[in-house]
Amino acid sequence: MKLWNKGTEVNKKIELFTIGKDRELDMYLAENDILGSMAHCTMLESIGLLTKQELDDVLRELRNIYQLNKEGKLQIEEGIEDIHSQIEFLLTQKLGDTGKKIHNGRSRNDQVLLDLKLFIRAQIKELVDLTDKLFRNFIAQSEKYKNILMPGYTHLQVAMPSSFGLWFGAYAESMTDDIQMLLAAYKIANQNPLGSAAGYGSSFPLDRQMTTELLGFERMNYNVVYAQMGRGKTERVVAYALASLAATIAKFSMDFNLFMSQNFGFVSLPDELTTGSSIMPHKKNPDVFELLRAKCNKIQALPNEIVLIANNLPTGYFRDLQIIKEDFIPVFDEMKDVLKITDFMLDNIRVNENIIDDKKYEYLFSVEEVNKHVINGMPFRDAYKKVGLDIAAGNFNPEKTVNHTHEGSIGNLANDKITQKMEEIIKEFNFDKVDEAVKKLLE
C-alpha cells in the first residue's frame, strides 16, 4: 500500500532502493504518528471535515493502535510502505471510508516533519533526565574528593595544584552548557509544522493553532515554506547539541584513560570493570572509557554528515532528507547508553589520595610560594625571580598546601551555584506542558 499510488506498478529495484531503511526506522516514530493523527483528526472535526461520530470512531481506533504499539505488537506489514500507510490501513480496515479521511489537509511531508519533532521532544526529555543524573553524580564525586589534591597540567607539563573536587566539578559545569545547548535544540524542535502540507499550505481552513495546543507545542512554524525548510535544519541543530554533550564525555574519558595509566596513577577501577590481554597477564585495561571516547567522537561527526546531505538543497522537499534518519534516529539510543554507562563507571572510580607526596610534583607549588612572597610585600616580578632561582639552586622546599578562597577555586568549588544553574536551565524546558497535552489526547 502506497499513499501516492495511482495504479502504476513501480519497478521492484526502485521500490527497494527508495524505501531504504524507512520501514525499520519508522517504528521509532509510530507513537508520535498516532498522537499527531489524533490531534489532526480532532482539528478536522472542528472545521467540518469529520463528523463527531467519525471523530469518536477514529480516536477510539487510534488509541487501540497506540496500545498495540505500547505492547510491541504493531508492525509494518509486508507490502505497506511506511508507518503512516500502516496506520491508515488499520483504520480503513476497521472503519472503511472514514479511515481514509484522516489524510485530509495533510501531506506525508508535514506528517514526517511532525513525527520527527514529537520524537525529538520525547528523546530530549529522556536525555535531560539522564544528563541531570550524571551531572549530580559528578557533583557528588566533586564534594566527596574536594580536599584531595592532584596535579594540574598545561602543555602536559606539571603546572599548578588542582584537586579532584575541581576535576569532577569541571565536568559537572560543562554539562550545564550542554543542557543549555539541548534547551536551544528543544525550543527549535518544539514548534508545530502540521498544516504546512507539502510545503505550500492547504485550501482547507485548517486550524493550526488548535493542533499546536493539542500537541503541547510552544508555538508553530508559521510560514509553511519555512516549516518544510526546517527538515534537516532541526536535525542538524539537535545533532550539534548531542555533539556538545558527547564532547564533554569524550574529554572526561580521555582524562580517565590518561590518569589511570601507570605513568600517572591518579585513578583506578575495580578489576571486574576492566579487561585483560591475551598475552600480558598484568594488564587491566579501561576499555569502557576507550569505547566511550570512540562512541562520543562518532556522535560528534553527525552534524557534519547532516550538513553534507542538506546544505545544497534548494527550497522544497527532496528525498535526500530521508537518508538523515538512518543515523539521526538511532543516535539517541547511543547517547542514552553513553550517559548510563558513564554514570555507572563514575560510581566505581577509585581515587589515589596521596599523589602529591611524589617528589616530582614539588614544583606544583611554585606559584603558591611566589604568592606568599607577594602577600608579604615583595613585588611579583621579584618574587617570581627568587622562587625561580631557588628551584634552579635546588633550594625549593614548598609547603604542600593551598588556600584558595575565590569562587570556583580549590577551596570554594561553588558546586551549589553550579547545581542551581543546572536546575534553572532544566526548568525552562517546561516538560509538564507536553506531558499534560499528551495525557489529554490519550484520554
What tens digit of pLDDT does each residue of 148-177 get?
999 999 999 999 999 999 999 999 999 999
Residue pair 387/373 in contact (Cβ under 8 Å)? The answer is: yes
pLDDT at residue 226, as a whole number = 95
Q: In terms of Cα–Cα distance, which of 114, 309, 119 is closest to 221?
A: 114
* Helix segments in 311-407, DSSP class H: 321-347, 366-375, 380-393
CB 195 within 8 A of CB 110: yes
Secondary structure (3-state) at 78: coil
CB 161 within 8 A of CB 174: no
pLDDT at residue 9, rounded to an integer: 73
How far is the CA of 226 from the CAs of 91, 200, 234, 318, 338, in angstroms? 31, 9, 11, 14, 34
φ, ψ for residue 286, nearest 5 deg = -85, 60
The pLDDT, as a whole number, for residue 2 is 53
Q: For residue range 318-374, what is the model confidence (pLDDT) as tens digits?
A: 888 989 999 999 999 999 999 999 999 999 999 999 999 998 898 999 999 899 999
Written as one string, the DSSP assignment of 121-169 is HHHHHHHHHHHHHHHHHHHHHHHHTTT-EEEEEETTEEEEEEEHHHHHH
- What pLDDT, on a 0 to 100 scale, did the predictor assign at position 399? 86
CA 398/CA 221 separation, integer angstroms: 63
Query: In degrees to the nearest 10, what's the CA dihedral of 58, 61, 65, 67?
Result: 120
**CB of 165 within 8 A of CB of 146?**
yes
* Closest C-alpha among 195, 143, 224, 193 to residue 418: 143
Contact 135, 171 (CB under 8 A): no
Local structure of 190: helix, strand or coil? coil
pLDDT by 10s per residue, the chain, length 443: 455 455 667 777 776 776 667 778 889 999 999 999 999 999 999 999 999 999 999 999 999 999 999 999 999 998 888 899 999 999 999 999 999 999 999 998 999 999 999 999 999 999 999 999 999 999 999 999 999 999 999 999 999 999 999 999 999 999 999 999 999 999 999 999 999 999 999 999 999 999 999 999 999 999 999 999 999 999 999 999 999 999 999 999 999 999 999 999 999 999 999 888 778 888 888 999 999 999 999 999 999 999 999 988 899 888 889 899 999 999 999 999 999 999 999 999 999 999 999 988 989 999 998 999 999 999 999 999 999 999 999 998 888 888 899 999 999 999 999 999 999 999 999 999 999 999 999 98
Query: What pLDDT score was predicted for residue 429?
Result: 98
Rounded to the nearest 10 degrees, how much is the dihedral formed by the CA atoms of 54, 56, 61, 64?
Answer: 180
- Count of beta carbons in the 10 Å neighbourhood of residue 294: 12
* Nearest Cα residue to 289 out of 364, 332, 229, 349: 349
C-alpha cell at 174: 560543562
pLDDT 10s digits, 19-32: 667 778 889 999 99
Residue with cell 501531506: 107
One-letter identity of residue 252: F
Of 292, 326, 330, residue with least CA distance to 309: 326
Taken in order of first residue, the domains within the chain and their CATH numbers are 12-103 (1.10.275.10), 117-147+163-193+228-356+415-442 (1.20.200.10), 358-412 (no CATH)
Whether residue 201 contacts residue 195, with contact meaning beta carbons closer than 8 Å, is answered with yes
